[in-house]
Structure 1
């Protein structure tokens, strides 16, 4: 399962088999529920929220104290790390992991994302919810939609000239493109909050995002010369893009691609298209818990620190069903991702047979 394949469309399995496949996730959920791992972890999240906000304040204090010095680039790198951690907390709030109250989760995520990081909570939530509903499915998952990177053979085949040449070697451009992802996230957020698409609490989001971006730029230019200020912003945005984009990319890129008309049960849809990343506390910190992507996709509302505890149960359950459970190291995951991106056309020539259909001779 290390290399991406196309999940071939298949007929539905017989009625009883289809019901049994659908019940597999219910059986897993019934096993997880009594463990108490879905309960909120208020101590963990309040501690993390307070410490991360204090770190945010500390970084801005350092900006003021360092002043007109190229040491500011080190401060910019630290700021990128802190902003990435705040973005992870916004992600957890959007998934209702922090509080029991939906409103508390929504507003915490909205303030953290907009006021601290400068991103639109509404724009990101719509995009991320679509991804969770159909990971790696063509025309359904926005994370493999048409963009600078081509994730499917048909997108590459539509490109001509220089764009085709770049698409065939896009793995080499992956990390440089990630350096632009921070800027891209801010641009997309501004377009959304000031655009015409439906957006809940547009006024609040627009105020938060605009105030954060304007104050950030004003303070940086006020404290530093223009050249140093530009370098500071560039380093912070580039590293932020690499850290945040680099935490999401290894989890699905290079895993099977689901055709637009394929139909899978919930458990297999989430497990077969996701990849876990092995590692200790450093990987947990850098990836904000997203390194346990299989468990996160199966139980998106489970608090981040509980994912490690439910992992053995999920892995054993998948092995019992014969459902492939993928887990690799961080370096290996990027090797798979880059190898796939450099060879999308050939990696997708052999269809991946639907496990639900093949189990019943279809």
Structure 2
């Protein structure tokens, strides 16, 4: 459908930022696209939420969630992303009034004409159903038991060394126990970072800083800023920071592989990426740390006790989980698809079982997690059948694999890229 100009309404055409006029200014999708981009002479970046048009050109640098994540949606309909990331939408909207410059004209669709309107409407109805079922509400007991598991595993690790000494077998057992403890702590901080443990966002933020800082020796703000960008535009080149972090060691996706080939930049070690991916360092440490004591604690244990063995094992664990869910999937530049399609083309699931749920921290339900990032992880399986039904209705592939197959697909997908296929 061709874009039509906005209605020529004198009242509507008055500048809403100056306070003149009683009606909102009306815009077309073409207007929004033309007045978007950091290179725009007036620093305009417009986006749409529930048909309202907001100019974030002077705000994105102050955005609490980070400048990049909100800029990724400049010129686009950010309604579903806004709903997914904000636990209290009503409260956030109160602070958005100063950014409001108008709304879509009546002859404009509620979303870009390129999007599948029926799919978007069905997904929004699905989210409303999930909210009515209470599946976005956290259960404190579950996460208390997870935290208790973390403490007991770490205590068992140190007790093993203290009681049995530092001979090879106790050393290895202790390293495995500590690796498991830290990995489960990684899953817990992931839950806290997504505001899915406590009902109040502030409690999630405070406990998140403790878990990731004291138990893992990392920065909560660094993790939050990068991980939310990943969720906003997963597997989107130049927008998903997880792709950028691995770009020096891997050629990820057919599009980047072709581009490097055209530039004649296909060189070692990427030609052998399928052989070494599992020992690549998953953790890219930031320059600043929020908890110096947590950092010192882990550096001491790394150097004096386990000589980084548990960090190596932990990295392999995390790299397998991240790669199996994303690397075999579509990797491309942002095509401005609807939220449902954006998430499902970049993620896949792993079969449910008690072991798989525990081993992956429920990240085996990656599609449901990406669609509803604030939903407590133990509810993902309840939503899976609903998501699968919506996929079937709109002829979208719902990918779910056995765990070992998912691991094998990592190697296969990376090997195919080295062959230029």
TM class by shorter-chain length?
0.7 to 0.9
Do residues 149 (structure 1) and 253 (structure 2) align?
no
Question: In structure 2, what is the Cα distance between the partners aligned to 1:144 and 1:24?
Answer: 30
1:15 counterpart residue number: 113
**Residue pairs, 1:23-38, within 5 angstroms:** 23-38=121-136
State the distance in 2 between where 1:320 and 1:61 align: 54
How much has 1:68 moved relative to structure 2? 3.1
The residue aligned with 2:202 is 103
- In 2, Cα distance between equivalents of 1:254 and 1:341: 8
Matched, 1:54 2:152: yes
Q: 1:148 to 1:165 in 2, by over 3 A?
A: closer
Change (3 A) 1:234 1:16: closer
CA apart distance, 1:170? 0.9
> Residue 165 of structure 1: CA displacement?
3.9
Q: Give distance in 1, aligned partners of 2:300 and 2:204.
A: 25
Structure 1 residue 215: deviation in Å?
4.5
The 1:36/1:166 distance shift into structure 2, 3 A limit, reads same
Among 215, 218, 233, the residue aligned to 1:119: 218
Q: Which residue of 1 aligns with 2:53?
A: none
Instruction: Name the count of aligned residue pairs.
Output: 305
1:277 offset after TM fit, Å? 0.6
- Aligned-partner Cα distance in 2 for 1:154–1:100: 46
CA contact (8 A) 1:283 1:291 kept: yes
Query: Counterpart of 1:6?
Result: none
Structure 2 spans left out of the alignment, 5+ residues: 1-108
Partner of 2:190: 91
Partner of 1:314: 387
Give the C-alpha shift of residue 116 in structure 1. Answer: 0.8
Q: 2:279 aligns with which of 162, 166, 176?
A: 176
Residue equivalent to 1:192? 288
Partner of 2:142: 44
CA distance in 2, matches of 1:333, 1:87: 21
Q: Secondary structure of 1:342's partner?
A: helix
Higher RCO (CA < 8 A, seq sep 6+): 1
- 1:167 aligned onto 2:263: no
Distance apart, 1:272 and its partner CA: 1.9
Displacement of 1:302: 0.8
Alpha-carbon offset, residue 254 of structure 1: 1.1
Cα distance in 1 for residues equivalent to 2:367 and 2:136: 16
Q: Name which of structure 1's ranges 232-241 and 131-140 shifts more when overlaid on structure 2.
A: 232-241
Provide the C-alpha distance between the structure 2 equivalents of 1:90 and 1:122, rounded to a whole number of angstroms: 12
Quote the offset at 1:154 in angstroms.
4.7
| Shift in Å, 1:144 | 1.6
Counterpart CA distance in 2 for 1:286 and 1:268 is: 27
On the 8 A contact 2:149/2:181 being kept in 1, the answer is no
CA distance in 1, matches of 2:130, 2:118: 18
Counterpart of 1:64 in structure 2 is 162
Mapped to 2, the partners of 1:125 and 1:24 lie a distance apart of 29
Q: Decide whether aligned partners of structure 1 residues 29 and 279 sit closer, same or farther in structure 2, where only a CA change above 3 A counts.
A: closer
- Corresponding residue for residue 348 of structure 2: 275
Look up the SS of the partner of 2:307 in the other structure: helix
* Aligned equivalents of 1:16, 1:73: Cα separation in 2: 55
What residue is the counterpart of 2:326 in the other structure? 252
